[in-house]
Amino acid sequence: MAAQAHPSSIPENTLEGVPAHIVALLDRLHDESLKQEASLRPEDFRNDETVHDLTRDKFIALDADKARYLYMLCRAINAKTIVEAGTSFGVSTIYLALAVLANVRATGGGPGRVIGTEHEPTKAARAREHWRECGDDVAGVIDLREGDLRETLKQDLENVDLLLLDIWTPMALPTLKLVQPKMRYGAVVIADNTISAASSYKDFLEYIRAPNSGFISQTLPFHNGLEMSIYLPQKN
Ligand SMILES: C[S@@+](CC[C@H](N)C(=O)[O-])C[C@H]1O[C@@H](n2cnc3c(N)ncnc32)[C@H](O)[C@@H]1O
């Protein structure tokens, strides 16, 4: 939310090799998202009652600099199975799909999969339109699960390399607990806005930072914070 870095201020080569029409689409979608967010106030996100209604038609896309960092991270860990909690209009999903496709092309072991989650049908439909604009490769690697993720993530999940938590904060810990048993050793968990929303992330942050939680964790200094945790469970 409330991006600081416009895509044009980020080094060009973070998305090297990505088709120009997709880079242009991402820039346009980030711009639209920022314009919409200007009409929202921080307190709108603190009220569980109103957040859904106020954001039903809004992107709330992950900031462009965070999204590009996420793309690089997915390339670094050669992620081929990714879960995204909170898909909205599918902006961050495009970065994740691009990374999975590039990893499979480079090292094999496909087909690769980005599991998206969205409970608002109109948002899911817009997301699919954006993915179609990207082309068949991007659209084909995304498995969008429509409905409440507390149900849709209960099945068909294996060997998860990365979990993105870009969702209303009360949903972060329940989502992690659902996905954790399916995460591989060394899997990465990214959670957005963990500085600005630290108080509502309290249960999640306590869980992930507890001694012997199986995670090591650090808050990265992006605008509003971005928590990066690595799953390194001990062998019993
Ligand atoms: C911050 S937005 C996601 C933005 C997206 N990651 C992006 O960068 O474009 C969070 C989304 O999570 C969805 N959401 C909230 N609670 C959910 C739930 N229980 N199950 C599925 N989706 C949910 C909301 O409808 C909203 O679209």
Is 8 a domain residue? no
Is 134 a domain residue? yes
Is 2 a domain residue? no
Least trusted range by pLDDT, from 51-55, 141-145, 179-183, 197-201: 51-55
Q: Residue 153 — φ and ψ, nearest 5°?
A: -95, 5
CA of 152 to the centre of ligand 1 (A): 13
CA dihedral sign of residues 106, 107, 109, 113 = negative
> Is residue 155 pLDDT above 90, yes or no?
yes
State how far the Cα of 116 lies from the Cα of 143, in Å rounded to an integer.
6
Token pair for 64: 């462009």
> Is residue 137 pLDDT above 80, yes or no?
yes
State how far the Cα of 172 lies from the Cα of 52, in Å rounded to an integer.
16
pLDDT at 226: 98
Q: What is the mean pLDDT of residues 172-189?
A: 98
> Is residue 110 pLDDT above 90, yes or no?
no
Is 117 a domain residue? yes
Q: What is the pLDDT of residues 207-216, one digit of tens each?
A: 999 999 999 9
Residue nearest to atom 6 of ligand 1 (CA): 87
Q: Are strands 183-192 and 160-165 parallel, antiparallel or unpaired?
A: parallel
Residue owning tokens 């993530």: 153
Q: Which atom of ligand 1 is nearest to the CA of 91?
A: 9
Q: Is the CB of 171 under 6 A from ligand 1?
A: yes
Query: CATH number, domain at 116?
Result: 3.40.50.150
Is 127 a domain residue? yes
DSSP code for 82: E
Q: What is the pLDDT of residues 17-71, one digit of tens each?
A: 999 999 999 999 999 999 988 887 766 766 666 777 777 888 899 999 999 999 9
Is 146 a domain residue? yes
Is 9 a domain residue? no
C-alpha 152: how far from its chain's center? 16
Provide the strand spans (E) within 147-223: 160-165, 183-192, 215-220
State how far the Cα of 59 lies from the Cα of 89, in Å rounded to an integer.
6
pLDDT at 3: 45
pLDDT at 147: 98
Give me Rg for the CA atoms of the chain.
Answer: 17
> Is residue 74 pLDDT above 60, yes or no?
yes
Angle between helices 121-134 and 91-107 (to 10 degrees): 40
Is 1 a domain residue? no
Q: How many domains does the chain have?
A: 1
Q: Which atom of ligand 1 is nearest to the CA of 67?
A: 8
> Is residue 11 pLDDT above 60, yes or no?
yes
Domain containing 51 equals: 15-231
CA of 85 to the centre of ligand 1 (A): 7
- Cβ neighbors of 199 (< 8 A, separation 6 or more) are none
